[in-house]
């Protein structure tokens, strides 16, 4: 059974995507948190608007559900520019990208989600497009093939990636601005929740918002999702009132623990402690132990566990911290830390 698509999975699908669309902030002023990114971005946008030019290409990096797509939409809205959305896996051949690039309007914002998963030929075409606003269309095959240069409209590429380290340097270097999105503070998530509650017509007292916020893995998408589940619980069992105890009881029911860890997070910690004595253990071995892809463990579970001080990535592998043993109510073996974390 896959643990990936869970209540607290940071990905969104189907009906949820529609609700998400309704909850997305539309302008930079409505975007909560990420103060530094917001300030940097507003300067880039304002200066481009003053000069009457398209801004530099921008890269957003960070864990799923932190607001990269939302920011791309906001960028287009602030520039009053049209927006085209695609994703790395959809760009399998250079022709897929050429079809998009050659039909862009002047000043359009092109958003490529999961840009690190784009196929190589498309990536190479993108270099030229980003730098010279040109694509080379190859006609014919073999020795007789010729490249016909085609000028395209000036556009702004907004790339999003959960794994900036995987981007080839030539691509990374062509972005004029990189926004590193971090997990949100509890107070910021409380603001996200109050805003969403208003839009959804849910009465949310401060203590309920606080309880949901601190168990949302620092991620607005998860906060919004938990809000809806807590609302269901409160409607059915508590006359619609979301106080601290009701929020807590609902989240316990949905297997979100007191620190916001979900089933995948706990499975990773559990395997690390029980099967590998706290580590060090390699990523792929750990992933096999929890029945997941290494990428899922690395992108979805680990960043949050590291941020919570429960797991450390060392050159020799993944290691549980003292807090991890404590979190699962276990006692670390006497030699658990000396030889691993600090050598």
> Helix-strand-coil percent breakdown of the chain, rounded to 5?
50, 15, 35
Residue from the set 9, 224, 308, 321 that interacts with ligand ATP by CB under 6 A: 224
Taking the complex as a whole, the smallest distance from the CB of residue 6 to ligand ATP amounts, in Å, to 14
Taking the complex as a whole, the smallest distance from the CB of residue 182 to ligand ATP amounts, in Å, to 11
* Of 74, 85, 67, the residue nearest 20 (C-alpha): 67
Among residue numbers 30 through 89, which ones bind ligand ATP (CB under 6 A)?
31-33, 64-70
Instruction: Tell whether residue 25 is a contact of ligand ATP (CB under 6 A).
Output: yes
Residue from the set 6, 8, 9, 20 that interacts with ligand ATP by CB under 6 A: 20
Residue from the set 4, 24, 82, 124 that interacts with ligand ATP by CB under 6 A: 24
Instruction: Tell whether residue 298 is a contact of ligand ATP (CB under 6 A).
Output: no
Taking the complex as a whole, the smallest distance from the CB of residue 136 to ligand ATP amounts, in Å, to 30
Catalytic-role residue among 217, 221, 229, 263: 221
**What are 244's two structure tokens?**
């601290």
| Only segment of 26-34, 306-314, 320-328, 329-337 that touches ligand ATP (CB under 6 A) | 26-34
Three-state SS string over 242-311 comes to CCHHHHHHHHHHCCCCCCCCCHHHHHHHHHHHHHCCCCCECHHHHHHHHCCCHHHHHHHHHHHHHHCCCE
Is residue 221 flagged as an active site residue?
yes
70 among the known binding-site residues?
yes
Contact 323, 333 (CB under 8 A): no
Nearest residue to the partner ligand ATP, using Cβ: 67
Q: How many CA atoms lie within 13 A of 150 on its CB side?
A: 18
Contact 297, 290 (CB under 8 A): yes
**CA torsion through residues 87, 93, 94, 100, sign:** negative
257 sits in the region (left: phi over 0; alpha: psi -120 to 50; else beta) called beta
Pick out the residues of the known binding site. 23-24, 65, 68-70, 131-133, 174, 184, 221, 313, 318
- Interface residues with ligand ATP (CB under 6 A) are 11, 20, 23-25, 31-33, 64-70, 113, 160, 162, 192, 220-221, 224
């Amino acid at each position: 059974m896959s643990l990936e698509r869970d209540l607290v999975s940071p990905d969104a699908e189907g009906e949820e995507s529609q609700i998400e669309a309704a909850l997305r902030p539309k302008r930079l002023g409505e975007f909560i948190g990420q103060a530094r990114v917001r300030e940097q971005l507003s300067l880039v946008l304002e200066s481009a608007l003053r000069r009457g030019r398209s801004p530099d290409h921008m890269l957003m990096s960070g864990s799923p559900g932190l607001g990269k797509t939302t920011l791309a939409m906001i960028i287009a809205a602030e520039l009053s520019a049209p927006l085209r959305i695609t994703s790395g896996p959809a760009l399998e051949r250079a022709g897929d990208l050429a079809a998009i690039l050659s039909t862009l309007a002047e000043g359009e914002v092109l958003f490529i989600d999961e840009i690190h998963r784009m196929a190589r030929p498309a990536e190479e075409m993108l270099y030229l497009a980003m730098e010279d606003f040109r694509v080379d269309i190859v006609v014919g095959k073999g020795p007789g093939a010729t490249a016909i240069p085609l000028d395209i409209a000036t556009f702004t590429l907004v790339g999003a990636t959960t794994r900036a380290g995987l981007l080839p340097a030539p691509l990374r270097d062509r972005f004029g601005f990189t926004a590193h999105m971090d997990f949100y503070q509890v107070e910021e998530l409380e603001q996200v929740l109050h805003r969403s509650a208003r839009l959804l017509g849910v009465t949310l007292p401060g203590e309920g918002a606080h309880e949901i916020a601190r168990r949302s893995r620092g991620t607005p998408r998860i906060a919004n999702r938990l809000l809806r589940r807590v609302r269901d619980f409160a409607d059915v069992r508590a006359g619609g009132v979301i106080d601290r105890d009701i929020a807590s009881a609902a989240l316990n029911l949905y297997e979100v623990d007191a620190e916001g860890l979900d089933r995948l997070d706990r499975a990773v910690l559990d395997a690390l402690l029980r099967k590998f004595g706290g580590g060090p253990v390699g990523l792929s071995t750990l992933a096999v132990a929890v029945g997941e892809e290494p990428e899922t463990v690395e992108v979805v579970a680990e960043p949050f566990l590291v941020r919570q001080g429960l797991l450390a990535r060392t050159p020799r592998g993944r290691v549980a911290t003292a807090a991890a043993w404590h979190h699962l109510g276990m006692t670390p073996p006497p030699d658990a830390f000396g030889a691993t974390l600090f050598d």
